[in-house]
Structure 1
Amino acid sequence: MNRKQALKNIAAGTLGAMALPNFASAMEKAESLDLKGNINHSVCQWCYGSIPIEDLVKSAKAMGIKSVELLNSEQWPIALKHGLTCAMGYATPIGLNRGYGGPQFYYGLERAMDTAARELGIDPSEIRRINFVRKDEFPYQAPAGSTYDAGDYELGLAQLLAGHAGVEDLLERDVRGVDEHGAIDREMLIRHQPRVARGTNTCQALIEKRLKKPKRPASPQSK
């Protein structure tokens, strides 16, 4: 049997099936349904990389498509402007897939802690203290599955608030971008570039309050 004959047989079989009573009854029911528009279509931007995003969104809107997927965070407002959504984005600045060690994550977290403290009317350091894992709770099994073997977070916060010499010296050197010998530490300087939030973890607000913003040391290239 050649390809042409096979296609004829498939077509004949399809027409025969459509003539069956059960198929006809199903079609009649489908046509009588009050469609609510619950089935929505979307399009992925990466399939049409050569089309400017503005044109792609406009075309999708004209075709009745409700969402354009795989847009980055800078493109979301374009979809929103035309009444479309992006149910699946990518290239976000921070997310669970990028780990919990990034300063962007902790900057947002610590800002949220400060906001909660203001709304509850308690000291920002106190809201952190009462949420610490206590020293007698170690080893501590975290909800995500990790095991924290040891720690004394309350002591660390107490030393910071009391102006403990060792902590103060470490924080000041870190913000100034120098090591313990006073030499420029390029890694520290990179960590405190304007595009990156200054300070990390529970020290964020305290660093800004305790230490004056220093002048950035000149880079070796500028000398």
Structure 2
Amino acid sequence: MQCVECVQQANKNIPTQKTQYGGRLRFGLPLMTSIFIGINIVVYLLQLIIPGFTNQLVLVPGLAAYQPWRLVTSAFAHSPSSIFHILMNMYGVYIFGVMLEPRLGRLRFAWLYLLSAVGGSLGVMLLSPANTATLGASGALAGLFLATIIFLRGNKPAVQQLGIVLALNVALGFLVSGISWQAHLCGAVAGILAAVCIVAIPRSNPQRTVIQLSLLGVLSVVIALATYLAVAAAKWTIG
């Protein structure tokens, strides 16, 4: 027989199981992946129900200069005229989320997703005309895609297959109208940089988690500053 305090103290002394890249090991359906998919679905339903709701979410560089929330909301909105837009994006988020979240842990995966999403919006601000309307999770999805290649770099067959899919997506981005290559490009860059912040620190380093999160914090500041400057430049251009 053991007292309650003894059991609690013994549980505290049990080492926390870690994921491959330092997060807390958890079992079951990846929580953050489910949350991101759920948010996108709820927003999509609101777009269908509320007239004009999409117009308040979509990213237009000329409008984002004065309504900066569009930099985030556009990454969780999809075209209400085609259900395939959200279905394809959410399928991609699910596939990469199931692969990445168990390896990274909830915090690192959520950070990677959000940095990629904002990075995609930054690409639209920098590279798209001021009157271009963009929406969708494609920036975040591109970041997850490229990050997966980084995390699976030791698995050559998987990397080769992902490379073929990447090449096809790059070609489609330039050949098919209506696809924002700007969001894909900068979302992918943000995803690569976030992945490097995580994988660059070896497992043997006792300060691994602290360094990883610090690097992600620095990257977040850099992307936030670049986004602020892009918004300010758009506002100055518009006058």
Which category of TM-score, normalised to the shorter sequence, fits these structures?
under 0.3
* Greater RCO, 1 or 2 (C-alpha within 8 Å, sep 6+): 2
Q: Which has the larger radius of gyration?
A: 1
Q: Which structure carries more strand by proportion?
A: 1
TM-score (norm 2): 0.19
Greater percentage in helix = 2
